Amino acid sequence: MTRKSILWITLAIVLSGILFFAVPKGKVLTRIFKLGKEKELIGLADSLNKKCPMQVDNITTLQSVKVTNSAWQYNYKLNIDSIALNFVEFKKQSYERLLKELKMDPNSKNCSSMNLTIVYNYQTLKGKFLFEFIYPPELYDMK
């Protein structure tokens, strides 16, 4: 091994040690881990978006999924013109049902560990905003 390569290896080891011990609570390693998870989530969102629109039930269609550094958002369209419903009661029941499903879903633990807020956005078939449910991790995490 040449003297130059030994110098570079030593420098790399020293810099790695400084970064590891100087940055509080291993933030560098945490950030690297989160970047890998963010790429994974973006890939998952892209994969789901290729399958959209997806009919969820007789009135709900998943239009797209969006991922940011702090949220996973489902964008739905509701065919509410085709059914008679009490809109206030429907919204309340939907909120409670989705929260219950989030709490029971084993994948939610991954989302909460990444501090992801889960968002459900609903529009009419014509694209008019209806309502949005926002679930921060402390609401759905069942630790």
Could you report the per-residue pLDDT of 112-133, keeping only the tens digit for each?
Answer: 888 889 999 999 888 989 899 9
33-50 mean pLDDT: 78
pLDDT of residue 1: 59
Residues forming beta bridges with residue 133, ordered by sequence position: 120
CATH 3.30.300.250 domain span(s) along the chain: 52-143
Q: Collapse the DSSP code of 114 into the 3-class scheme (helix H, G, I; strand E, B; otherwise coil) and give the result.
A: coil
Domain 52-143 sits in CATH at 3.30.300.250
In the predicted model, what is the mean pLDDT of the chain? 76
pLDDT of residue 114: 81
Could you report the per-residue pLDDT of 28-41, keeping only the tens digit for each?
Answer: 334 444 556 777 88
Q: Output the DSSP codes for the chain.
A: --HHHHHHHHHHHHHHHHHHHHSGGGHHHHHHHHHHHHHHHHHHHHHHHHH-SEE-SSSEEEEEEEE-SSEEEEEEEE-GGGS---HHHHHHHHHHHHHHHHHH-TTHHHHHHTTPEEEEEEEETT--EEEEEEE-HHHH---
